[in-house]
A and B are shown apart, each in its own frame.
Chain A
Amino acid sequence: MADITRAAVAHVAGLARIELTDDELDTFTGQLAKVLQHARDVEALDVSDVPPTAHPYPLKNVLRPDEVVPCLDRDEVLASAPATEDGQFRVPPVLGEAP
């Protein structure tokens, strides 16, 4: 597998909604390449017939009675929000135009 490229890191940063300067892009490309290089020690392992483990402890679905119980207080939750309006979170325009 080829080394991770500067363009791939820039793409991934975009997906993760992180802006990088040119210097950061260089640094992160080198660092990620090194970590992924180390990850190649598993490349030679044939694990095609081994099932994946997503969760270490075998638990089945946990069910509870469908009863109404208290939940978080709306005002208390909204008190920590950067901006609110009419009991809701307020954000800038989603489509780039002023409302």
Chain B
Amino acid sequence: MSAAKALGGPLRTARSIAADVREGRALAADVVEQHLATIGEHDEQVHAFNLVMADQAREAALAIDRRVVAGEDPGPLAGVAVALKDNMCTRGVPTTCSSRVLEGWRPPYDATVVERLAAAGAIVIGKTNLDEFAMGSSTENSAFGPTRNPHDLSRVPGGSSGGSAAAVAAGFAPLALGSDTGGSIRQPAALCGVVGAKPTYGAVSRYGLVAFASSLDQIGPFATTVDDAALLLEAIAGPDPRDSTSIPEPFARLTEHLDRGVEGLRVGLITELTETEGIEVEVSERVREAAAALEKAGAHVEEVSVPSVIYGLTAYYLINPAEASSNLARYDGVRYGLRVDASTTGEMYDHTRTAGLGPEVKRRIMLGTYALSAGYYDAFYGKAQRVRTLILRDFATAYERFDALLSPTSPSVAFPIGAKTADPLTMYLNDVCTIPSNLTGHPAVSVPFGVGAGDLPVGVQVMAPAMGEATAFRVAAAVEAAAPVGNPS
């Protein structure tokens, strides 16, 4: 039995909870009480949550139960608790981004995803910890202290959506939402032994998601099963007039394709991301086993080279800070959050930002300001955008021959707290396998597949072309079905 299971999981699936609540076999109020009890017992150790919304969750559960009694259908996620990354706006409820600079801020509106969760009958149970403004790969950059991995409390849960991943792994909620700018859903999902997906850029509205790097950010689901992740994604995806980057076409149906198998599908194993230096040998082995399992299930599997992915990390760590430096200019003490008073507005800006922002956020803002500054723009930001085109072209070529691509999600299993905090570049290397999908805007799913060093979970990443979620989830379901017995989720 894994440590995560010892903490409270494994949970019943969201699908089975919703079915019981809709049919009147279970009360949402009881479901919520069980989650709150588990959280109360174990979250002091894990610290998945910045805020547990006990009163609001109880009230929402009672409303769901009343609707069932009245003969109404509350929706496909009726009575299902969802943990929400604390960079998504909740009306009247503190939204901190795990930063001191947003202290005291209560958003005057709900994010679109929060509205859609409510419309589907889901219940937001709390706001989860993250690396400050989602900048990090370990959840150690939080102003409120780190989240711990439920499988081994001395290790990180990954990041930046570490609180959401840990909440699902620990059994605090069957579902969670995270945001993924360079792997911030998939990498913590891999490290915590749960399913995590980054949808196509534009598939899920970013209205009410606090902006980090706008051409890369995307909201996506965490769950214990591929089916549950698909169920949650279906509930939140689709066009939104309040997000101008939202894709206008209706989103694909996912859950009805999951059991179609992979017979005849062409799956490519990306050489550069599987055999690269720095990828743990057990991680590469699990990915190769997953590829072999897909072949056994009828897929045609081959290795494929995507040469420019080796430049992904460089392009990403120029584009991401550049966009972040612009987006985070708004934290100036004028309209919301922290203000450190001074005798002039200019000094007030300086003092507020200096006191309110943490070291990683300052690092990225400075890096981005530098990459965008006169004389360096063409050498850094301009070049990175051209490299981004090369990567898009290479993936387009690969998808002429393949329906889906495979790689590790994270180069390593969960690492000890503090192991990588001294050197930012070492921390950035965690994102090497996940970054390409953000640069291309393509969907990618991380599925638990056995364990690596220290019996810690390993994640396999399934990628597909833009709007190819139906294929990605179908392959992910086949990987899940073939996962070794004792899979840590």
Provide the bound-state CA to CA distance between A51 and B392, in Å. Answer: 11
Provide the bound-state CA to CA distance between A91 and B348, in Å. Answer: 9
State how many residues of chain A have any CB contact under 8 Å with chain B.
50
B56 to chain A, nearest CB (A): 18
A44 to chain B, nearest CB (A): 11
Asked whether B288 is an interface residue with its Cβ less than 8 Å from the other chain, the reply is no
Q: Is the CB of A47 within 8 A of B370?
A: no
Asked whether B212 is an interface residue with its Cβ less than 8 Å from the other chain, the reply is no
Provide the bound-state CA to CA distance between A41 and B389, in Å. Answer: 16
Q: Is the CB of A55 within 8 A of B215?
A: yes
Provide the bound-state CA to CA distance between A73 and B248, in Å. Answer: 28
Residues of A within 8 A of B124 (CB): none
Provide the bound-state CA to CA distance between A9 and B345, in Å. Answer: 23
Q: Is the CB of A92 within 8 A of B392?
A: no
Asked whether A52 is an interface residue with its Cβ less than 8 Å from the other chain, the reply is yes
Provide the bound-state CA to CA distance between A35 and B320, in Å. Answer: 13
Q: Is the CB of A28 within 8 A of B366?
A: yes
Q: Is the CB of B344 within 8 A of A93?
A: yes
Q: Which 4 A-B pairs have the closest CB atoms?
A: A56-B441, A52-B385, A82-B339, A47-B386
Known: A18-B366, A36-B367, A94-B346. 18 other contacts (CB 8 A): A16-B329, A17-B346, A18-B365, A31-B424, A32-B363, A32-B367, A34-B424, A36-B380, A38-B425, A56-B439, A56-B442, A62-B244, A72-B108, A80-B105, A80-B107, A80-B337, A92-B347, A93-B344
Complex A-B: 23 CB contacts under 8 Å: A1-B379, A15-B373, A16-B325, A16-B366, A16-B369, A28-B362, A28-B363, A31-B363, A31-B424, A45-B383, A45-B390, A47-B386, A52-B382, A52-B389, A53-B388, A56-B201, A56-B442, A72-B109, A77-B335, A79-B106, A82-B336, A82-B338, A92-B343
Q: Spell out A's residues near B (CB within 8 Å).
A: 1, 4, 8-9, 12-13, 15-19, 28, 31-32, 34-36, 38-39, 41-42, 45, 47, 50-57, 59, 62, 64, 72-73, 76-77, 79-83, 89, 91-96
